[in-house]
Structure formats: C-alpha cells, structure tokens
Amino acid sequence: MSLIQVPRRSLSRRQFLQISGLSGMGLLLSGCGTSLLESEVGTIFEPLNESVQSLLLNPQKPIPEFPLSAIEPKALLINTFNLTPEINWDEFRLTIDGAVNNPLSLSMAEIQKMPLTSMVIRHVCVEGWAAIVQWGGVQLRSLVALAQPKADARYVYFQSADGYSESWDIASALHPQTLMAYQKNGERLPVENGAPLRLAAPIKLGYKQSKWVTKITLRNQLLDTRGYWEDQGYEWFGGL
C-alpha cells in the first residue's frame, strides 16, 4: 500500500478529496442522505476540527508491510468472546454516530464502493501467538471524515454484534493503516473472522481489533466502560 506524503500547507477541496481517496466516487449513501458528488463532499469536510484535519492531511508513520508470499493462511487463530453472531450481509448496516455532525448508516454495498485498501501485516495476539494476514477494506479515517467529527472528538468506541465493545484514541483510529476490513487474504472475510466488517490494524494488539463491528461512536471523553477486556484489567491503549 502506498501512502501519500502531504506537505504542510493548506489544500484545496479537490486536493483534500484526492488525498483522502474519496474523489470521483459519485455515489449516494442512502440511509444518511449524503451525496458524495464532489460539490457536496467539499461542504461536508469544511467543519472538520483542526486536530482531526491535521491527522487526515499529514499521514502518520506507516508500519512496514510484508509481501504476499509471507501470508500464513492457517496461523490466524479464532478467538471467540461469545457465540458467533448471524449477520445478513445484504441487510447489514454500519452506524456512525456520537460527536459527529453527519451521522451515517451505511450498507455493505455502499462501503464496498469506497476505495479499497489492502495490506499484509502481522496480527499479534496478547496470548503470545501471531499471524501474517492480508486484510482488505476501507480506511476508517475515510468513514470518520464522512461523519464530520465535532471539534471535541477524541475517542472512538466500537460496538459488535456479539456484544463485544472496544475504544480507541482518535489518532490510532485515523492511522492510514487502520481498516474496517471485509476481506481476508484476498477473499471475502469469513464469518468466524468477523464478517461482514471488522477492525484490522498493525498498530494494535488483537483484542483491540473488534470483529462483527456494527456501530462506531465518536466521544469527547472516555467512559467508565472502556472495552470488554480493558474492564477486566487489560491495558487500554493496547498498542504495538
């Protein structure tokens, strides 16, 4: 995956759209009523707060990736928090709400029309095992940008269909290699690995990478409940 180096200067609407990977999409996000034609997306992005805009326009340090030949197709173990939920791919919707000016409700068809990012990274479990996996999906930063985060947004909460919960700092959520993935090793993401949509990133331990994500909520502060394992004593940041 190639990352665009952006100089520290003001950018035009067209340049911002090209950098974020959202220009030329021309689709209508039904359920949120937001047209992604460039004339309207430019207006959507204008209220972005400075801290979030800085993260979006100044790419963070990328984590080195692996060649396709390094993929370990049988090394990714399946850890379950609860029973595997049954989710209809065609009826699924991802909700993005909280400290945003433009709440979203997106179908998988709409998400898959956004630019696809693919990366081969090492998935590291806190239990001591690791696996090199290829993940494909949409950058979380693109979804956050569409939702128009409010000026005080600092944290991102994730809710899963099986009841699992997680929370991240906004900088980690906006890292260019943080994906909402719907592909694994070049194929449709299996249900047991979190289909239709899961978090995937080389900057967090496995317990931070929620499966079966149905809701993303931006917040201005951390709640007493910070995540399933964190509430049982696991470290909150969970970074690599």
Residue 78, domain member (yes or no): yes
User: In 3-state terms, what secondary structure has residue 143?
Assistant: helix
pLDDT tens string 67-96 = 999 999 999 998 777 789 999 999 999 999
Angle between helices 13-20 and 38-45 (to 10 degrees): 90
Residue 15 confidence class, pLDDT cut points 50, 70, 90: very low
pLDDT tens string 106-155 = 999 999 999 999 999 999 999 999 999 999 999 999 999 999 999 999 99
Residue 7, domain member (yes or no): no
User: What's the CA gap between 199 and 175, in Å, rounded?
Assistant: 12
Residue 226, domain member (yes or no): yes
DSSP state of 110: H
Contacts for 210 with CB less than 8 Å, ≥ 6 apart: 158, 160, 164, 165, 166, 194, 198, 199
Residue 240, domain member (yes or no): no
* 58 compared with 23, residue with greater pLDDT: 58
Q: How many CB atoms within 10 Å of residue 124? A: 16
Residue 3, domain member (yes or no): no
Residue 218, domain member (yes or no): yes
Provide the β-strand partners of residue 137: 117, 181
For residue 93, what are the domain limits? 13-232
Residue 238, domain member (yes or no): no
Instruction: Give me the CATH number covering residue 44.
Output: 3.90.420.10
Counted domains in the chain: 1
Residue 59 has what pLDDT?
Answer: 64
Residue 60 has what pLDDT?
Answer: 81
Q: Is the peptide bond before 47 cis (omega within 30 degrees of 0)?
A: no
Mean pLDDT, residues 217-237:
94
User: In 3-state terms, what secondary structure has residue 88?
Assistant: coil
**Which residue type sits at 11?**
L
Residue 6 has what pLDDT?
Answer: 31
The sheet that has 155-160: what strands, in order across it? 104-107, 93-98, 213-219, 155-160, 165-169
Residue 39, domain member (yes or no): yes
Q: How far is CA 74 from CA 71, 110, 213, in A?
A: 9, 31, 23
pTM: 0.79
Mean pLDDT, residues 200-208:
96
Average pLDDT of the chain, as a whole number: 82
